[in-house]
Structure 1
Amino acid sequence: MPKTLPLAPLTAEMFAPYGEVIEVDGAPDKLINQGMCGRHHDRALLDFSDGRAGISLFDAKARAFPHIVDMVERHPDGSQAFVPLDGVPMLVVVASADSDGRPTNLQAFLSQPGQSINLHRGVWHGVLAPMGAPGRFIVIDRIGDGPNLEEHWFDEAYLVEGKG
């Protein structure tokens, strides 16, 4: 029987230990394009040990609640940002690391339309999971030589039941 993982709304404050929530909030930092466009400036820290930033497109199949989390991954050499193109909410599962670097203290968040995320380098996280419908995503992450992926499979899976 999997452990139950509670689901929380995605907020900048709650997500701060893992990365940034990228969204429009409040007034723009400045107006550009003859005052017709508000720029909400520098919303995420892209961080790479080497290589370069790349932009990829992901086309992900729909997931549903209840959702099983049996594996998390991390990218030790670069941050990773996910920008939904279709307004589909995504399940974001993140974890702290214990003294041995293993994932612990999992948390689950559900994004809302207009929210994107940037995961800090080395943060354990679940797989891309658009909820209820397929989703296309712009992903900004490290492009470079060498492996940049570590996976951890749990002996006992977690269950995210959805909105309660």
Structure 2
Amino acid sequence: MEKQIAFDNIITLKPEPLTQYSFAPFGDVIEAEDREFFMINNGSTRRYHKLATTQVDEGSGVIINIFEATPLSYPLSVKMMERHPKGSQAFMPLLGNDYLVLVAPVGDEPDLLSIRAFYAKGTQGVNYHRSVWHHPVLALTPNDKFLVVDREGAGNNCDEFFFSEQTRVILAPDL
């Protein structure tokens, strides 16, 4: 006999375009488009200054990594989200490929009614502020690479939350 689950909560998310305004409750959008700059290097370089600020607890450091990611199958049944309570985490695409972002506000657990999905252009990075719930990297292209600015230091900096079997969060992008 097949096990049937009665779902108490079914949420289907369609990604919206990633903008500085829409993403502000969760962190920073790292991009040069429509941002102020000043000239450096004898006028040969535009500097788009302070597009994001790293957040780390006392006694921690900031490190730079490269993540290589593979796409998941969509529509995606989201099983979990994570957060980093001791520091921010930034992702910048290295190969110029678009990707998806799934976030929820700071709280003891992800608020189902506040989860948002974004479609990020390959020219946009994101910086998740400390304790913002997010899904691990959601690449859309095989072997995609991201520069990741992260916290290094003592203590656990990754809390994971797994949704119950009665909760279904579906990420359904138009691909």
Task: Say whether the fold is shared (TM-score over 0.5).
Answer: yes
Q: Which residue of 2 aligns with 1:25?
A: 33
Query: Secondary structure of 1:103's partner?
Result: coil
Which amino acid counterpart does residue 162 of structure 1 have in structure 2? Answer: P
String of CA shifts for 1:82-115, please: whole Å, max 9, x gaps. Answer: 01101121211000245xx111111000101210
The answer to whether structure 1 residue 43 and structure 2 residue 51 are counterparts is yes
Which runs of no fewer than 5 residues in structure 1 stay unpaired? none
Rg: which structure is higher? 2
Q: Name which of 90, 101, 109 aligns with 1:102.
A: 109
d(CA) in 2 for partners of 1:7, 1:29? 29
String of CA shifts for 1:100-147, please: whole Å, max 9, x gaps. Answer: x11111100010121001000000001111114331111001011111
- What is the total number of aligned residue pairs between the two structures? 162
Query: Secondary structure of 2:21's partner?
Result: helix
Once the two structures are overlaid, the 10-residue window that deviates more, 62-71 or 114-123, is: 62-71
Structure 2 contact 70–141 (Cα < 8 Å) conserved:
no
TM-score normalised by the chain length of structure 1: 0.92
Identity of paired residues, percent? Answer: 36
Q: Which residue of 1 aligns with 2:3?
A: none
**Hey, which bits of structure 1, 4+ residues long, moved more than 6 A?**
none
TM-score normalised by the chain length of structure 2: 0.86
CA RMSD between the two structures: 1.6
Structure 2 contact 82–134 (Cα < 8 Å) conserved:
yes
